[in-house]
Amino acid sequence: MRLRRKPWIDEAIREYDSHIILSGQEAYKGKWREAFSHLERPLYMELGTGKGRFIAGMSEAYPDANFVGFEVQIGVIYYAAQKIFEAQRDNAKVSLFDIAGIEEIVAPGEVDRFYINFCDPWPKAKHAKRRLTYHTFLDRYARLLKDNGEVHFKTDNEDLFMFSLEEFKNCGWELKNVTYDLHSTDLPNVKTEYEEKFSAKGQPIFRLEAVKPTVTKEA
């Protein structure tokens, strides 16, 4: 869902320049760790930050990792940048970017983990290739992950989850910690804004972790 553009955000977002990358992401390819003061930390990327509750919470819960979150809507990423700026998180940044082009700005083997939370399910079959767990996306993630790197995926959409399970399996990913009701488990979890809203209504949350296959497909 796209939000109505708020013209004031274009200027106001500059207040958070220390925590947001609005352009020139290509220059970071292979160098994302250099955006942080502790280069030795693992690099985790969230694909679609929304308003930033997840990346803000994760960067606080895991201070020994560096986090980069990508979001395509400036009217949404503004709030994510605001959260990590006000929390003074030195291990988190967000970037305005369409992740369909992620291989243009991230180098092979650069990332330790990807997080995908409550992405658009694109329910029509003709739109399946737009799903962030479609096999062509999974192949991209595999190329960008380090050996034994992981994708952590959460959704409230059962059809998307079942589709995603099959895509991961068919692409040779090792699945672990698969759950059809996350909040009934003791798995560590930082909720997104969306997750909080719908789980409060009794909606089960589906989650999986997938380990990069040993053999990856070339681009």
From CA 41, how far away is CA 33, in angstroms rounded?
Answer: 8
CA of residue 175 relative to chain centroid, distance: 18
Annotated active-site positions, please?
120
User: Does residue 144 sit in the same domain as residue 93?
Assistant: no
Q: What is the CATH number of the domain that holds 211?
A: 3.40.50.150
* 91 lies in the same domain as 147: no
Residue 112 lies in a domain: no
Same domain for 91 and 137, yes or no, is: no
**Any domain includes 120:** no
Task: Judge if 74 and 132 occupy the same domain.
Answer: no
pLDDT the model gives residue 198: 87
Give the list of residues 6+ apart from residue 141 with CB closer than 8 angstroms, or none.
114, 151, 212
Amino acid at the residue 208: L
pLDDT, residue 1, reads: 44
What value, to the nearest 5°, has the Cα angle with vertex 34 and ends 79 and 117?
Answer: 40
What is residue 6's predicted lDDT score, i.e. its pLDDT?
Answer: 76
In this prediction the pTM is: 0.94
| Domain limits for position 37 | 1-9+19-107
Our count of domains for the chain comes to 2
Question: Does 117 fall in a domain?
Answer: no
Asked whether residue 142 is domain-assigned, the answer is: yes
Secondary structure string (H, E, C) spanning 3-52: CCCCCCHHHHHHHHHHHEECCCHHHHCCCHHHHCCCCCCCEEEEECCCCC
Low-confidence ranges of the chain (pLDDT < 50): 1
* DSSP label at residue 185: S
The b/e string for 177-192 (b: 16+ C-beta within 10 A; e otherwise) is eebeebeeeeeebbbb
* DSSP, res 103: G
**Cβ-count burial of 139 within 10 angstroms (0-12 exposed, 13-18 middle, 19+ buried)?**
middle
Structural domain contains residue 172? yes
Residue 4: what pLDDT?
58
